[in-house]
Structure 1
Amino acid sequence: MRSLLALLIVTLALAALCRCEKDPKDLSGSHNPTSIKIEKEVANAFVKRQKRSSLYEWYLEYYKSPMEQMHERCENYPPCDYLSDQIGFSMAYNRFFGRY
């Protein structure tokens, strides 16, 4: 037990020594925010959003279909959500909210 405790103390002492060895004011080994530069075109290549090509796609993005609205209504009501996992969405929705 004592040898394990001595080993742990020696390991912690070495870790503290290695951690404190570097001068905190020495920035030659670390990265500065000014040293990382990316050209604007390269940065925009993976950030650029794909634009909507038609009015139909724009409409679908902002308005949900009636079936999707029914799914969300069922998901927000825990008994319907649980039953839809057991017997299916259409039967669970009919049971709690009537015909669709």
Structure 2
Amino acid sequence: MRSLLALLIMTLTLAVLCCCEKDPKEPLGPISTDSIKIKKEVANAFVKRQKRSSLYERYFEYYKSPMEQMHERCENYPPCDYLSDQIGFSLAYNRFFGRY
């Protein structure tokens, strides 16, 4: 019985030593940025854009609402963009472009 137990302990010890050994393929130094980069085709295959299915969503993808157009007009004009951060969009838009 003792010899069987000793044999089992030796087998388990050798199995642990074999499994816990460091991987020889793993670099010992710091990881370089070249090993992190992936090809463009692989990245595009991984991240796919979900297609829009309804006509309503497709319409709003191409045509912007009037309020969104006003926001973009204000964002493209630096004084309006800066002032909108201070006092709000509607007041800044009224000051530079008049009533909406």
The answer to whether 1:66 aligns with 2:66 is yes
Q: In 2, distance between residues paired with 1:94 and 1:50?
A: 38
Q: Which runs of 5+ in 1 are unaligned?
A: 1-37
What is the CA distance between 1:63 and its match in structure 2? 1.2
Percent identity of the aligned residues?
90
Q: Which has the larger radius of gyration?
A: 2
Structure 2 unaligned segments of length 5 or more: list them. 1-41
TM-score, normalised relative to structure 2: 0.52
Give the total of aligned pairs: 58
1:60 deviation in Å? 1.0
Q: Note if 1:89 corresponds to 2:84.
A: no
Deviation at 1:93, TM superposition (A): 0.2
Q: Which 4+ residue blocks in structure 1 deviate beyond 6 angstroms?
A: none
Residue 82 of structure 1 and its aligned partner are, at CA, apart by 1.0
Q: 1:1-100 to 2 correspondence within 5 Å?
A: 44=45, 46-100=46-100
- Cα distance in 1 for partners of 2:64, 2:88 equals 21
CA RMSD for the aligned pairs? 2.0
In structure 1, distance between residues paired with 2:47 and 2:82: 39
Other-structure match for 1:30: none
In 2, the alpha carbon distance for the partners of 1:59 and 1:79 equals 32
